Structure 1
Amino acid sequence: MSRADELFVQMCRTILDHGTTNEGELVRPRWEDGTPAYTIKGFGITNRYDLREEFPALTLRRTALKSAMDEVLWIYQRKSNNIADLKSHIWDAWADETGSIGKAYGYQIAQVSHYPEGDFDQMDRVLFDLEHTPFSRRIMTNMYTFADLSEMNLYPCAYSVTYNVTQGSDDSRPVLNMVLMQRSQDILAANNWNVCQYAILLMMVARHVGMEAGELLHVIVDAHIYDRHIPIIEELIERPQLSAPRVSLNPEVDNFYDFKTSDLLVEGYETGPQVTSIPIAV
């Protein structure tokens, strides 16, 4: 059975059984009808996925893997902050009349800094370091730039990625691992979406630098379930758990900047029925 399903069910059960609520408190998010969107949350949830064992896609319901990949390419490859460059409409609510989400996400990855070796934006520096000093402990991207927060239409939720290389005695080549730091997550709407996104990012970067994609460690500070999502979650976690799909990348592509969503190869992805019409708090 899918390890991602097991972790998801354990996480949701922990939040529902032992989480704390902010009902009655002053909260920012609102439902479409203007009602405050309260949550029950778990603090400091950590999940670990090993891509050498399986790809971490839920089978309880389908995750749109190619759409997830398109968003991660939008941020880290196209380095865009405009929804015109994104196929899905998940960012529409936060875009202005020009399509911009402000100085957020891809805008931050595109910012260039000066180093002794030359000028690099955040993603190019990651690739440079992994190619030249792969065992460095300083290989990361960070989108939470305090000076720009007032010009972001949404503060970044998944904001920091740290890369770390290991090579054990049984490893034929270096293994690339990743830590994803997330300040806040809507568990129903976004948990497996983010997990799959960053698993795909890890796979693409590992391919670019000739390493094996290893572990994804996902740290969520505020892992919450919205009040109107509780019945949906309770039904979802009782569903049968199936085998994980086989997910790989086109073997003919090895440059990070050449990947397209068509290069994501998905086989044997069987799931329960899709959950539709999820209310989203904004």
Structure 2
Amino acid sequence: MTHHPESQYLDLLQRVLDSGDSRMDRTGVGTVSSLGAMMRFDLSTGDFPIFTTKRVYWKLAVKEMIWFLTGGTNIRPLLAQGVRIWTDWPLAAYRQATGEKISQKDFEQRILDDEEFAVRWGDLGPVYGKQWRAWVASDGTVHDQVATLINDLKGNPSSRRLIFHAWNVGELREMALAPCHMVYQFHVSGIGSRPRLNLMVFQRSCDLFLGLPFNVCQQAALLHMIAQQVDMEVGELVWTGGDVHIYSNHFEQVREQLSREPRPFPKLSISRRASDINDFAIADFSVTGYEPHPPIAGDVAV
């Protein structure tokens, strides 16, 4: 029997649940935590690694990745597309600063309705997109790491410096959340014949139940987008984790997920060639054959 690639994820959940180190964390919720993990997904077959043992809302994940690529740091464009995954942090900051017991729904509506309010309270600081697309050096030079990566892939595909990352030490304190998926390193195989683009991501901190299914899906989408832009086939996605953990309020959900058998991964196609990396939209992505188990809810630890 062929080993389902999602089994890597389930095995990691089981290992951390069984032998993870119990500890209190930044959020005050508490976790079981282990150091070090790796998973590999072959995308060359057309498989799109959206996990199936619970429903993953892949469109939200891809919308977030497209937003990262715009260099955006404000939640307003995300909310306009129905993506609410970043609201918790600015909402908590607003409640703490003002003492107003505003609901999440009302806060999000104010962000959408009032541009001035959104500028003041919807910004997350210099998070992922800012570092990827507009890293400011000490001399004031602005570096677009993603554009540089694409140029290097076209001109020097055998380079060992095909990297972008978001861990800007000087700006960490200004970020609503320090970057979790930190380093993206690309590698081209088959140079001179049929070049295939591979990606390894290092994630320093990973919420295994809520975060990882989202991250793997969107990182696979990113690999497809960049491969299209450099006229390469898609190869392998390699995910590596540092502090991999399960929050204490997710234990029962994880046990339920572990009781389920993985189903076949769906297929991904991109309907048109984007003019550049800034030109992708969620309507370009088509996923077929996704038949997951039902969703399993869990609260985000802020």
1:186 to 197, 207, 210: 207
Deviations 1:97-128 (A, max 9, x none): 431101111111122579xxx97511111111
- Distance apart, 1:255 and its partner CA: 3.3
Residue 198 of structure 1 corresponds to: 219
Residue 166 of structure 2 corresponds to: 143
Residue 73 of structure 2 corresponds to: 81
Task: Say whether 1:259 aligns with 2:280.
Answer: yes
Task: Say whether 1:28 aligns with 2:26.
Answer: yes
Deviations 1:250-278 (A, max 9, x none): 144463222110111111110111113x1
> Are 1:2 and 1:56, in contact at CA under 8 Å, matched by a contact in 2?
no
Which stretch of the first structure deviates more once superposed, 104-113 or 51-60?
Answer: 104-113
Residue 301 of structure 2 corresponds to: 281
2:30 to 30, 34, 38: 38
Unaligned runs of 5+ in 1: 30-35
AA partner of residue 7 (structure 1): Q
- Relative distance call for 1:120 and 1:280 in structure 2 (3 A) is closer
Task: Say whether 1:167 aligns with 2:190.
Answer: yes
Give the Cα separation in 1 of the matches to 2:89 and 2:186: 29
> Are 1:248 and 1:264, in contact at CA under 8 Å, matched by a contact in 2?
yes
> Are 1:205 and 1:256, in contact at CA under 8 Å, matched by a contact in 2?
yes
Give the Cα separation in 2 of the matches to 1:221 and 1:209: 30
Residue 42 of structure 2 corresponds to: 50
Task: Say whether 1:127 aligns with 2:150.
Answer: yes
> Are 1:81 and 1:101, in contact at CA under 8 Å, matched by a contact in 2?
yes
Helix, strand or coil at the partner of 2:245: strand
Residue 242 of structure 1 corresponds to: 263
AA partner of residue 123 (structure 2): S
AA partner of residue 33 (structure 2): K
Give the Cα separation in 2 of the matches to 1:259 and 1:14: 38
> Are 1:60 and 1:271, in contact at CA under 8 Å, matched by a contact in 2?
yes
Residue 7 of structure 2 corresponds to: 6
> Are 1:2 and 1:241, in contact at CA under 8 Å, matched by a contact in 2?
no
> Are 2:71 and 2:134, in contact at CA under 8 Å, matched by a contact in 1?
no
Residue 106 of structure 2 corresponds to: none
AA partner of residue 85 (structure 2): I
AA partner of residue 61 (structure 2): A
Task: Say whether 1:105 aligns with 2:105.
Answer: no
Aligned length: 266
Residue 268 of structure 1 corresponds to: 289
Give the Cα separation in 1 of the matches to 2:168 and 2:201: 17
- Distance apart, 1:281 and its partner CA: 1.2
Residue 91 of structure 1 corresponds to: 86
Helix, strand or coil at the partner of 2:278: helix
Q: Which has the higher helix share?
A: 2
Residue 65 of structure 2 corresponds to: 72
Give the Cα separation in 2 of the matches to 1:232 and 1:83: 28
Give the Cα separation in 2 of the matches to 1:231 and 1:279: 12
Percent identity of paired positions between Structure 1 and Structure 2: 32
Deviations 1:80-107 (A, max 9, x none): 0110121301101222643110111111
1:214 to 235, 240, 249: 235
Deviations 1:29-51 (A, max 9, x none): 1xxxxxx3111122101111111
Give the Cα separation in 2 of the matches to 1:213 and 1:52: 5
> Are 1:56 and 1:195, in contact at CA under 8 Å, matched by a contact in 2?
yes
1:156 to 172, 179, 194: 179
> Are 1:207 and 1:255, in contact at CA under 8 Å, matched by a contact in 2?
no
Helix, strand or coil at the partner of 1:232: helix
Q: What is the TM-score normalised by the length of structure 1?
A: 0.88
- Distance apart, 1:172 and its partner CA: 4.5
- Distance apart, 1:18 and its partner CA: 2.1
Unaligned runs of 5+ in 2: 94-119
Q: Give the superposed CA RMSD.
A: 2.0
- Relative distance call for 1:227 and 1:113 in structure 2 (3 A) is closer
